[in-house]
């Protein structure tokens, strides 16, 4: 209860309960489940952001991030903020007013990129593809003909649709044009290969809450030497003081110059989540995501449901399932959460109410979760009047048996 007495707000502390959201199985578009070791690391004592012990943890976090990004880039750090902060960091540091920027748009997050470019005064060259499909490299090539883009940007894993964008040809076109290649890896990093140096990606960012399986709040970022050179040769100051990498990098570098107070306990958690990834092994982790994805799809299709995205460009960690005619999207998701503790996501933008987005990310990407989701979804759909075909669990089991 809250009362106002002579200009003061009076509360009763007993009215506020302990935080206890209950058990959840996070199988939406993020966040994903967080390993107990990561949560334990975050509960370690908070210390100063220039404490020698914390500086050592920062160094280890950078080493582990370079391993995950598969890069030798010196400027590889976690930005204080979620994945959208990483997106904004890349654009505000690399783009100046009047610079031409080509953005590939085939979903919500490509649209967000285009919005940021216009907000900071860049000249937008927009390449659109139908949502649920990949960008055609020839469309990009045609769009930048006789133009001079400084940056070409694309979403590797479009979370709104489940599309995996092939990058190799886009990278080649970008560098042939003399531009910097900027890639959104928010959903793909730690769930499938993101080989920054091998694929010649100049700037990339991600988020801790997807396949890395940390809580939301940090955005891993990496800049190539070419991207750093572009930053150093700017003619105008970076619009954002907080996200200005020309200053932030001095805190993460050997100078250790104070910029802002780092989120110490979040970085503890990131370091532990990255250590878990290194222990599992990148190839093993990628194989786990592929296998559980294939089993989920086998069960979904055996049930009579359809995937939104063609198999050739499907993401393993974000599965867009078309909602059957007559089935109430929100009711199904609410029932899954209330009765089974399972969270899945609804559609965004033009797919709102038309697809479910089922995540298999990091710690949530487990065989038992595939079976739990399939069994629960079949039960809920039958209660909604949809005659789901039997055999979903058998189909998933057969897929696992064939692989083992």
For 338-390, give the DSSP string: HHH-EE-EE--GGGTTTEEEEE--GGG--HHHHHHHHHHHHHHHHHTT--PPS
Residues 6+ apart with CB under 8 A from 103: 110, 113, 114, 117, 124, 125, 126, 127, 152, 153, 154
In a domain, 18, yes or no: no
User: Are both 275 and 286 inside the same structural domain?
Assistant: no
User: Are both 285 and 136 inside the same structural domain?
Assistant: no
- Segment 94-108, tens digit of pLDDT: 999 999 999 999 999
Using CA atoms in the order 297, 333, 346, 213, what is the torsion angle rounded to 10 degrees?
A: -70
User: Are both 268 and 303 inside the same structural domain?
Assistant: no
In a domain, 1, yes or no: no
Distance (Å, rounded) from C-alpha 284 to C-alpha 154?
27
Q: Domain limits at 358?
A: 281-403
User: Are both 55 and 202 inside the same structural domain?
Assistant: yes
Give the pair of three-digit tokens for residue 80: 């204080």
User: Are both 239 and 335 inside the same structural domain?
Assistant: no
In a domain, 12, yes or no: no
């966040």: which residue's tokens? 31
User: Are both 136 and 255 inside the same structural domain?
Assistant: yes
pLDDT for res 1: 47
In a domain, 266, yes or no: yes
Is a pLDDT exceeding 60 seen at residue 32?
A: yes
- Segment 218-238, tens digit of pLDDT: 999 999 999 999 999 999 999
Distance (Å, rounded) from C-alpha 102 to C-alpha 174?
10
Ramachandran angles phi, psi of 214, nearest 5°: -110, 170
User: Are both 188 and 297 inside the same structural domain?
Assistant: no
Distance (Å, rounded) from C-alpha 211 to C-alpha 34?
10
pLDDT for res 309: 98
Number of folded domains that form the chain: 2
Confidence of residue 9 (pLDDT cuts 50, 70, 90): confident
Q: Report the half-sphere exposure of 128 (CA within 13 A, side-chain side).
A: 7
Is a pLDDT exceeding 50 seen at residue 210?
A: yes
User: Are both 47 and 185 inside the same structural domain?
Assistant: yes
User: Are both 261 and 325 inside the same structural domain?
Assistant: no
- Segment 323-341, tens digit of pLDDT: 999 999 999 999 999 999 9
Q: What is the mean pLDDT of residues 55-62?
A: 97
Is a pLDDT exceeding 80 seen at residue 366?
A: yes
In a domain, 20, yes or no: no
User: Are both 275 and 129 inside the same structural domain?
Assistant: yes
- What strands lie across the sheet with 345-346, from one edge to the other? 306-307, 318-322, 355-359, 345-346
pLDDT for res 334: 98
CATH code of the domain in which 382 resides = 3.90.1150.10
In a domain, 8, yes or no: no
Share of the chain above pLDDT 70, in %: 98
Q: What is the mean pLDDT of residues 283-296?
A: 98
- Segment 134-165, tens digit of pLDDT: 999 999 999 999 999 999 999 999 999 999 99
In a domain, 339, yes or no: yes
Could you tell me the CA-to-CA distances from 96 to 60, 239, 265, 313 in Å, in that order?
Answer: 33, 9, 34, 33
pLDDT for res 404: 66
Give the pair of three-digit tokens for residue 367: 């065989």
CATH code of the domain in which 264 resides = 3.40.640.10
Residue that is last in its domain, among 279, 309, 341:
279
- Segment 160-181, tens digit of pLDDT: 999 999 999 999 999 999 999 9
User: Are both 168 and 205 inside the same structural domain?
Assistant: yes
Q: What is the mean pLDDT of the chain?
A: 96
- Segment 37-56, tens digit of pLDDT: 999 999 999 999 999 999 99
Model confidence, pTM: 0.95
User: Are both 142 and 172 inside the same structural domain?
Assistant: yes
Distance (Å, rounded) from C-alpha 366 to C-alpha 384?
27
In a domain, 95, yes or no: yes
Residue that is last in its domain, among 227, 248, 279:
279
Residue that is last in its domain, among 244, 279, 314:
279
Is a pLDDT exceeding 80 seen at residue 274?
A: yes
């Amino acid at each position: 209860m809250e009362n106002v007495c002579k200009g003061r707000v009076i509360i009763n502390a007993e009215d506020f309960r302990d935080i206890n959201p209950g058990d959840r199985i996070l199988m939406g578009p993020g966040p994903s489940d967080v390993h107990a070791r990561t949560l334990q690391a975050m509960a370690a004592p908070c210390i100063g952001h220039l404490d020698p012990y914390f500086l050592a943890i920062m160094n280890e976090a950078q080493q582990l991030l370079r391993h995950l990004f598969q890069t030798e880039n010196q400027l590889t750090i976690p930005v204080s903020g979620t994945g959208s902060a990483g997106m904004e960091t890349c654009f505000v540091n690399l783009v100046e007013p009047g610079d031409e920027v080509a953005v590939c748009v085939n979903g919500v997050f490509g649209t967000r990129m285009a919005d940021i470019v216009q907000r900071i005064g860049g000249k937008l060259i927009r390449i659109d593809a139908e949502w649920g499909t990949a960008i055609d490299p020839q469309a990009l090539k045609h769009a930048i003909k006789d133009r001079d883009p400084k940056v070409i940007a694309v979403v590797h894993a479009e979370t709104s649709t489940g599309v995996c964008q092939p990058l190799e040809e886009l990278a080649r076109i970008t560098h042939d044009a003399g531009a910097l290649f900027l890639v959104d890896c928010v959903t793909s990093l730690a769930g499938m290969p993101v080989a920054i140096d091998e694929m010649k990606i100049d700037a990339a960012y991600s988020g801790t809450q997807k396949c890395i399986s940390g809580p939301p709040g940090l955005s891993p970022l990496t800049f190539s030497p070419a991207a750093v050179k572009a930053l150093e040769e700017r003619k105008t100051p970076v619009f954002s003081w907080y996200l200005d990498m020309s200053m932030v990098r001095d805190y993460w570098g050997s100078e250790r110059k104070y910029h802002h107070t780092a989120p110490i306990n979040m970085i503890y958690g990131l370091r532990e989540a990255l250590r878990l990834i290194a222990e599992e092994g990148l190839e093993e982790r990628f194989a786990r995501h592929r296998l559980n994805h294939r089993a989920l799809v086998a069960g979904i299709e055996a049930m009579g449901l359809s995937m939104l995205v063609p198999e050739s460009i499907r993401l393993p960690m974000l599965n867009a399932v078309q909602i059957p005619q007559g089935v109430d999207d929100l009711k199904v998701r609410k029932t899954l959460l209330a009765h089974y503790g399972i969270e899945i996501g609804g559609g965004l933008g033009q797919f709102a109410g038309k697809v479910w987005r089922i995540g298999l990310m990091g710690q949530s990407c487990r065989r038992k979760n595939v079976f739990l989701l399939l069994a629960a979804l079949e039960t809920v759909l039958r209660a909604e009047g949809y005659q789901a075909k039997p055999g979903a669990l058998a189909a998933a089991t057969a897929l696992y048996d064939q692989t083992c």
